[in-house]
Structure 1
Amino acid sequence: MKDVIALTNRFYIEMSRKVLSEKEYDVLQKLLIEKMTLQEVAAIYGVTGERVRQIYAKTYKKVKSVTQLLAEIDDYKHKLEQLKYDFKCETQQIKKGETQQIKKRKNKIETDLQKKLYKSHFPFSKRMNSMMEVLDIHTIGQLCEIPLTDFHRFKGFQKQCKKELIAFIEFESIENLFEGFSVWKTQPIQ
């Protein structure tokens, strides 16, 4: 088990070498790989054990943020590859004269726009149902016509309503019908 921990420590240290200063790298190396105590490392640098602990804590946060960033990059690379693959498939279909999939998408969007809100299996709250009635919104198409930022201006549209609207849009998989949805859903209501 200790070998696995040592290998993991060495991996993270080497992976983060480019973002660490020489001193930070050396402190991590001495503490995690060479298994020196805080006092031994402090004696080498002529500082207190507490200062070495602070350097270690700061460095640990750097290493952790770098690994999280690398994980996000890997995730985005995967999404990019999927998009490239999807685009390639669509391009091949268009080249072959098979535009059926594109027509199906257009028909699906048109169908989605005509879909009545009450026919959705999404459990709207009474407040949200009332708000939709007051705004005279009965179909997804009518809902899409209202810019998302305008919902914040409606009386009674608070955090719970926003969460519910986000959940509905994601439940119906109609995010693409709302311009700026991914940004809007992360912004707080003011």
Structure 2
Amino acid sequence: MSVRILALVGSLRAGSHNRQLAEAAVKHAPEGVTIELFEGLADVPFYNEDIDVEGGVPAAAARLREAAGSADAFLLFSPEYNGSIPAVLKNAIDWLSRPYGAGAFTGKPAAVVGTAFGQYGGVWAQDETRKAVGIAGASVLQDAKLSIPESVVRFAETHPGDDTEVVEGLTKVVEALAHAGSAAAA
């Protein structure tokens, strides 16, 4: 089994715990699974149909679409901003949902995980992310979830990749996603 998963992180902050969680997914990916952490979401302009025209798609959006087009599955990392999905992650979903009915997510599996400061680990934002990516055409794995609460305390002195419980939960999500990605690619 060889599966390529594209990881999209909804936080742009250098020290983001969600970014660290994505790094842990890359580090602990099972054999045969490659997780590419997409760099450059900050450079993708807000979706605007006026600039989404053949020959005129901004370079950053074209790079995102190219990376997504060659992915077998998607792993989205969502913090929670004011009880909702971060704009940068929603924008990526919007770009990848086009062209309508044939966007990069269409028919491919996706899972959403994340960590947040609050006591519920960002579940509202993660649920909204699942909804948005599902409407964009992905086959959302509803049972492949990982919400880690109180990130500021939990990861104050420990990287998520060094937290056994987090790595176990993340590995289960990645394995489920890889299995679904392998089946979708077949």
> Is this a same-fold pair by TM over 0.5?
no
Q: Report TM bin, short chain.
A: under 0.3
Larger Rg: 1
Larger relative contact order (CA 8 Å, sep ≥ 6): 2
Q: TM-score, normalised by structure 1?
A: 0.22
More helix by share: 1
Q: TM-score, normalised by structure 2?
A: 0.23
More strand by share: 2
